[in-house]
Structure 1
């Protein structure tokens, strides 16, 4: 599957909650809702009506209730009015969305009791109702109950044969209309009147009914006890299984699986016997959920043995003892992939079914977490096995240029190239790895190579060298150029290029543990201090010195030795770390062997700039739509730190993208990049972010505005140029001093041609290698268009008509797919 084919299925949005008005309970209420993973907004006054809310807790300003319902509450949302100040509550609406609660003087309440009551009333089912606790308040302060709502009256069982007791909090009505007479003393049974016979018949029916109820109650107690102990024991067992799986102790994992499977089977047998009287109900909840737990659990655990054997065999053959070997020639990759795909499909299917289980006490989150960790590892193995197989089958000797890209000084393909390495692979194993300082190679370049204009103008470099060779955001282009520079500077020819950001080394250190460097006595490198230590040695470096080279050489050499020599480093942990590194673009690979290069490109790991196409279509946006009626769209944000500093660790960014379809079928796009420089400094270059920024959009787009902090950028300071055959690159310089913020806004229009009455639309946001993960907000509106958009692979978090809204992040490439009607 190509990179452009990765349609990411996004998680469901969090419930949106508004806490409105001033109250001492607001902070604690907000905290409780955040614990429940709600998206909480707290406002003393009505905020701008940008979005609708699922739940609104309103403490004051009850005269605004109609406006709140109309402009802030979703059509199926709920509003709870909470009176604590003596303010008059409005009349009771005949609306199931609204509840009324009068607490009275909060000083007379325990905070936890008040919060518990508020949450119970908000989230209970039922119609519009009023709860009146009025602690410390006079009765007359309560608004008169409307005539159509009956007030409570005192009742007596002696005054009525049928009495209704209203339990308001639960909305339960209990009728008291059962009565019978005992056989009068001294009257024989055969002399009973017909009335007595009827009464006795009623007694018999009631007695039978009571026995049935009693039997069901006893059965309920037995089943409750069974599942209480089963689920508690299951939770402990699954937690242990998850821990052993993550540590890859295969013998313990096999033991854990066998234990859990046997417990499930025994419990299933007991349940089948005990629940025989309930056979008419077994297709209904909760009995169908119980059957799901047993059936899916037994099937999944029973089918895991063969997959477990494959993973163990893979780890045993991918040796790390003495030298790093990708795979043993005897390992059957095809068989392993077939088994892994089958088990992964079963795991995904079980995960979907377990998500629907709502049994009390069932450790659903624990089970789902375990299945999620399994699925991730299987994805990693499924993706990396063919690559490892390709390298293990290669005979002879191959050399790769390894670029260490310091993403604290971000560059288009990841970071500034301060050091490089030469990695030798011979007959399927790593035979040599050496690291060099890039300035040592650059000092050997003979002749002049003209650099890109921004490097010459803003970096003040008249020549182009290996250290700045990764200027093109497409890694294949930059890697080929880096290999050219290496050959011209050192005479060394390579078979491929690997780009590694420092964040990957940080991930590997979490597997190997701390490293003690022989060349740096007393210093221990950990995943928590590695970046800081690298920056520290970088700051003490100057061209011609060896400080940075020696530190990175020591770290890489020691890391290589640790991985090669240790027998207890699990292969699957390494695979998981590498897979995450590839997916997040912390590792990029270019191989001159077309077959191997295709493996990386198909997985999106080659660092290519994606073409502006839908799925596998080869038709670009220059023709507005592809041959199947799909309209592709694209955005890429490429940063290059030209300040000669390691400032990117102090830079935060939020990406906000809005799209609006006009009646003329033009797509109006707005991209806002909100930056903040959290570094401390006095305005000097070391603390200033000098960022040459390129924003890539579809080639057919027309730029209508570009500004920084709402100040238009002069045309002479903007470079618009074509990139490839399908993109327009908009480049300019952004300077951001320490403790400052900046908002970059780009506006442009793109013509769309929607075929007939229906079509589809795909928008791709491409992540830059090496960038920190940032919030990404995406929305589409079509207020005046005859067409409507329906999201296909992510949920719509907006409750506003003709608006689609979603919030995610930039950890990976994002593709948003829509149906157009």
Structure 2
């Protein structure tokens, strides 16, 4: 029996060894040895039972077991435990973030300040727990994600500290900003005049806070820009991943740009608000429904005086009357001669031909100076988008003598009611017709006198209503103003170089920018007289094939007018288009233009220009294929939005990478 037990407990090698030295009477077969057990002649053990089969495992040496145990222990200590800690820290951070978001939604200043402090504490805890996993940054692939998380934490802490500065600075302006929990600036209901006075008196207190704030936002932007959204999936379990990361980084950069570039403008606030000296401004209304290079046809103007932040309308008039005072005999530029019917001279209303707002206003103001009109300190150009956005916040307003205006949809034009009324006041019975030789008005619509008066009172009413709104609506008013600035629905021009420089630094001056890389700006000019841009839709597709000696770009611009001809607002769209690309680019092929594409240089760019007519219910595509001097190394492109346009969809494909977006403002892309 002892021998049998020994046989079944031995290894295969021992079995083989025993086979080589068989004992007397042994019936062990080679097959049995290979199977790892003995087979007795009767098929069982001497006692009649069958043996249990037992497969032996290799013995683990003591040293190997010790090493394996140490590795497992290290993995638990430096991997599992820190990972659990990081996960728990992330959950705490998420909870405190939700509390802050609720305070933000409630516009509760004190709750925002206290909850933001808790977010900062939890984010610091998350960063510390993340540091215990720092060894993973040396691991290929995994290390990049640790670095992203660490950068997000560092950037987030800097962002929270910036938020603390902003909330502290905003406390005295709580009522004006529509926040609860701050000290009221007046006893009870605050009037528009009280709000303006308070801003004027305290604006100098804000400027010292901008330096520390800018330093924090710079750290935040630097850290977030280290994150590469391209290494993340587009979505996970049906939820987008990559796009929210891109949008978050874009918002961070916009915030830093707003803070760092906004200081020069804030420093000029006493000048702009007429605190030390009264200012006079020329407000020019650009009709974006009749698109021109700087945003729209120059349809009307107002003279406004500003003293201590208070606006006083002086006069409001029709651009045609200003042209009558100008009495131009300047020969019209070639594009006007070729594409704008019956116009032989260069009138003030057509002087915004350059897509660079400053260049256009330089030309315009030279002519304005010859009209005998009041001298002005600057020009403010606005289009209808800002008017509509403000009315969406404040609601319906009344303008004495002209009726009520709102942003509600008007079925007569399938557009906001205020747009329909403004167009009605402008030329409901048709355009003004001038004699090309004498300059006299041959025909004018019945309400021609009304349109020269409406814009000043309308703007004054909007400003007064906006400043007198309850604080619950103030945030929406600020948002509408900020969006108008960022999206070029309002632009500024000043003779004073220092003030003009401040406007340009904050991208308020509508300049065509210099850029090291690829570049695109599409400039359309409606030379038809109708308001077809109320309906015309534009889609842009750009395909870039980067190479060592430059890139080959294929640009497709699709124009569509889905509405029927009405003889007033909608009619043939006569478009003089220009495409601005990097200087030195060469046109390879083109389709869609009714005239040969001309190549020229302007504003430091190469320009391709053409012309077409798009009729109501029509679709048309313009395609340009061109070679640029931009190489594939660190490819980037700046796309500048034309003022007066709104959220045109773009698709930009560079090699295998694709970006899709609506162009709301100038946009830089990196691939």
Q: TM-score, normalised by structure 1?
A: 0.56
State the 1:316 CA deviation.
7.6
2:331 matched residue in structure 1: 450
Counterparts of 1:386-397 in structure 2 under 5 Å? Answer: 386-393=264-271, 395-397=276-278
1:776 matched residue in structure 2: 650
1:308 matched residue in structure 2: 167
2:70 matched residue in structure 1: none
State the 1:682 CA deviation.
7.9
State the 1:736 CA deviation.
0.9
Please tell me whether the aligned partners of residues 541 and 548 of structure 1 are also in contact (alpha carbons under 8 angstroms). no
State the 1:369 CA deviation.
9.1
Q: In the aligned structure 1, how far is the partner of 2:87 from the partner of 2:220?
A: 29
Please tell me whether the aligned partners of residues 238 and 367 of structure 1 are also in contact (alpha carbons under 8 angstroms). no
2:352 pairs, out of 467, 470, 478, with: 470
State the 1:670 CA deviation.
3.1
- After superposition, give the CA deviation of every residue in 1:24-81 in whole Å (9 maximum; x if it has no partner): xxxxxxxxxxxxxxxxxxxxxxxxxxxxxxxxxxxxxxxxxxxxxxxxxxxxxxxxxx
User: Does residue 1:644 correspond to 2:535, yes or no?
Assistant: no
1:110 matched residue in structure 2: none
Please tell me whether the aligned partners of residues 692 and 733 of structure 1 are also in contact (alpha carbons under 8 angstroms). yes
1:676 pairs, out of 528, 547, 560, with: 560
State the 1:403 CA deviation.
1.2
State the 1:704 CA deviation.
3.9
- 1:341 and 1:468, CA in 2 relative to 1: closer, same or farther beyond 3 A? same
The alignment partner of 1:425 has SS state of: strand
Count of aligned residue pairs for this structure pair = 562
Please tell me whether the aligned partners of residues 531 and 569 of structure 2 are also in contact (alpha carbons under 8 angstroms). no
- After superposition, give the CA deviation of every residue in 1:104-127 in whole Å (9 maximum; x if it has no partner): xxxxxxxxxxxxxxxxxxxxxxxx
The alignment partner of 1:733 has SS state of: strand
Please tell me whether the aligned partners of residues 588 and 605 of structure 1 are also in contact (alpha carbons under 8 angstroms). yes
Q: In the aligned structure 2, how far is the partner of 1:485 from the partner of 1:773?
A: 33
- 1:600 and 1:521, CA in 2 relative to 1: closer, same or farther beyond 3 A? closer
Q: In the aligned structure 1, how far is the partner of 2:633 from the partner of 2:565?
A: 52
Counterparts of 1:31-430 in structure 2 under 5 Å? Answer: 230=92, 233-234=95-96, 236-244=98-106, 247=107, 249-257=108-116, 304-313=163-172, 321-322=193-194, 324=196, 327-328=200-201, 331-345=204-218, 347-348=220-221, 379-393=257-271, 395-426=276-307, 430=311
Counterparts of 1:564-575 in structure 2 under 5 Å? Answer: 564-566=467-469, 568=471
- After superposition, give the CA deviation of every residue in 1:198-252 in whole Å (9 maximum; x if it has no partner): xxxxxxxxxxxxxxxxxxxxx99x99998899577535413313314xx5x5344
- 1:239 and 1:646, CA in 2 relative to 1: closer, same or farther beyond 3 A? same
The alignment partner of 2:365 has SS state of: helix
User: Does residue 1:460 correspond to 2:342, yes or no?
Assistant: yes
Counterparts of 1:336-735 in structure 2 under 5 Å? Answer: 336-345=209-218, 347-348=220-221, 379-393=257-271, 395-426=276-307, 430-432=311-313, 434-446=315-327, 448-457=329-338, 458-521=340-403, 523-525=405-407, 529-538=417-426, 540=428, 542=430, 543=444, 545-566=448-469, 568=471, 576-611=479-514, 614-615=515-516, 632-660=517-545, 665=549, 667-681=551-565, 686-698=570-582, 700-708=584-592, 713-715=594-596, 718-724=597-603, 726-735=604-613
Q: In the aligned structure 2, how far is the partner of 1:667 from the partner of 1:689?
A: 33
- After superposition, give the CA deviation of every residue in 1:666-691 in whole Å (9 maximum; x if it has no partner): 65443221211112238999332111
Q: In the aligned structure 1, how far is the partner of 2:472 from the partner of 2:428?
A: 34
The alignment partner of 1:687 has SS state of: coil
Q: In the aligned structure 1, how far is the partner of 2:466 from the partner of 2:152?
A: 41
Q: In the aligned structure 2, how far is the partner of 1:746 from the partner of 1:279?
A: 52
State the 1:414 CA deviation.
0.2
Q: In the aligned structure 2, how far is the partner of 1:661 from the partner of 1:581?
A: 35
- 1:398 and 1:459, CA in 2 relative to 1: closer, same or farther beyond 3 A? farther
- 1:688 and 1:311, CA in 2 relative to 1: closer, same or farther beyond 3 A? same
- 1:390 and 1:686, CA in 2 relative to 1: closer, same or farther beyond 3 A? same
- 1:161 and 1:299, CA in 2 relative to 1: closer, same or farther beyond 3 A? farther
The alignment partner of 1:444 has SS state of: helix
2:44 matched residue in structure 1: none
The structure richer in helix per residue is: 2
User: Does residue 1:738 correspond to 2:616, yes or no?
Assistant: yes
State the 1:413 CA deviation.
0.4
Q: In the aligned structure 1, how far is the partner of 2:150 from the partner of 2:607?
A: 57
Q: In the aligned structure 2, how far is the partner of 1:662 from the partner of 1:279?
A: 41
1:212 matched residue in structure 2: none
Please report the RMSD computed on the Cα atoms of aligned residues, expressed in angstroms.
5.4
Q: In the aligned structure 2, how far is the partner of 1:429 from the partner of 1:380?
A: 25
**Runs of 5+ consecutive residues of structure 2 not aligned to the other structure:** 1-51, 58-80, 137-141, 178-184, 186-191, 410-415, 431-443
User: Which is further off, 364-373 or 482-491?
Assistant: 364-373
Q: In the aligned structure 1, how far is the partner of 2:265 from the partner of 2:470?
A: 23
Q: In the aligned structure 2, how far is the partner of 1:513 from the partner of 1:233?
A: 37
- 1:227 and 1:651, CA in 2 relative to 1: closer, same or farther beyond 3 A? same
- 1:567 and 1:478, CA in 2 relative to 1: closer, same or farther beyond 3 A? same
Q: In the aligned structure 2, how far is the partner of 1:448 from the partner of 1:233?
A: 70
Please tell me whether the aligned partners of residues 515 and 525 of structure 1 are also in contact (alpha carbons under 8 angstroms). no
- 1:557 and 1:669, CA in 2 relative to 1: closer, same or farther beyond 3 A? same
- 1:691 and 1:440, CA in 2 relative to 1: closer, same or farther beyond 3 A? same
Q: In the aligned structure 1, how far is the partner of 2:245 from the partner of 2:541?
A: 35
Please tell me whether the aligned partners of residues 572 and 614 of structure 2 are also in contact (alpha carbons under 8 angstroms). yes
Q: In the aligned structure 2, how far is the partner of 1:396 from the partner of 1:279?
A: 57
The alignment partner of 1:331 has SS state of: helix
Q: In the aligned structure 1, how far is the partner of 2:228 from the partner of 2:579?
A: 40
Q: In the aligned structure 2, how far is the partner of 1:759 from the partner of 1:382?
A: 29
- 1:733 and 1:797, CA in 2 relative to 1: closer, same or farther beyond 3 A? closer
- 1:389 and 1:313, CA in 2 relative to 1: closer, same or farther beyond 3 A? farther
The alignment partner of 2:268 has SS state of: helix
The alignment partner of 2:371 has SS state of: helix
The alignment partner of 2:303 has SS state of: strand
Q: In the aligned structure 1, how far is the partner of 2:465 from the partner of 2:228?
A: 41
User: Which is further off, 406-415 or 575-584?
Assistant: 575-584
- After superposition, give the CA deviation of every residue in 1:4-31 in whole Å (9 maximum; x if it has no partner): xxxxxxxxxxxxxxxxxxxxxxxxxxxx
- 1:530 and 1:666, CA in 2 relative to 1: closer, same or farther beyond 3 A? same
Q: TM-score, normalised by structure 2?
A: 0.66
State the 1:559 CA deviation.
0.9
**Runs of 5+ consecutive residues of structure 1 not aligned to the other structure:** 1-158, 163-176, 179-218, 616-631, 780-795, 799-803
- After superposition, give the CA deviation of every residue in 1:376-420 in whole Å (9 maximum; x if it has no partner): 556434433421321315632222211111111100100012221
State the 1:595 CA deviation.
0.7
Please tell me whether the aligned partners of residues 563 and 569 of structure 1 are also in contact (alpha carbons under 8 angstroms). no
Q: In the aligned structure 2, how far is the partner of 1:281 from the partner of 1:706?
A: 56
Please tell me whether the aligned partners of residues 643 and 686 of structure 1 are also in contact (alpha carbons under 8 angstroms). no
Please tell me whether the aligned partners of residues 351 and 371 of structure 1 are also in contact (alpha carbons under 8 angstroms). yes
Q: In the aligned structure 2, how far is the partner of 1:768 from the partner of 1:452?
A: 21
Q: In the aligned structure 2, how far is the partner of 1:263 from the partner of 1:669?
A: 48
2:625 pairs, out of 736, 739, 747, with: 747
- 1:339 and 1:680, CA in 2 relative to 1: closer, same or farther beyond 3 A? same
Q: In the aligned structure 1, how far is the partner of 2:512 from the partner of 2:157?
A: 45
